[in-house]
Amino acid sequence: ITPYITTTIISLKGILYPGTLCSPETFQVLDSFEARSDDVILATYPKNGDYC
């Protein structure tokens, strides 16, 4: 038996997002998101490679 993955693709404003990482509900919440002046945003690259 060969496993296969079915991935849902979400399109928003012409940009495609993988459904495994994002959901339509996530984008609905982001539409009403308002950042405050004291918010801190952490951004990083995803880790990849072998886990030893």
pLDDT for 50 beyond 90: no
CB 19 within 8 A of CB 8: yes
- Does some domain include residue 12? yes
Alpha carbons 8 and 20: distance in angstroms, whole number: 7
Q: 31-48 pLDDT, tens per residue?
A: 888 999 999 988 887 776
Residue 9 inside a domain? The answer is yes
Domain extent, residue 20, equals 1-33
By the 8 A CB rule, do 16 and 10 touch? yes
- Looking at the domain assignment, is residue 3 inside a domain? yes
Reduce the DSSP state of residue 27 to 3 states and report it.
Answer: helix
Could you tell me if residue 46 is inside a domain?
no
The count of domains in the chain is: 1
Do the domain assignments include residue 44? no
- Whether residue 50 lies inside any domain: the answer is no
Is the predicted pLDDT of residue 22 greater than 90, yes or no? no
* Structural domain contains residue 39: no
pTM over 0.75: no
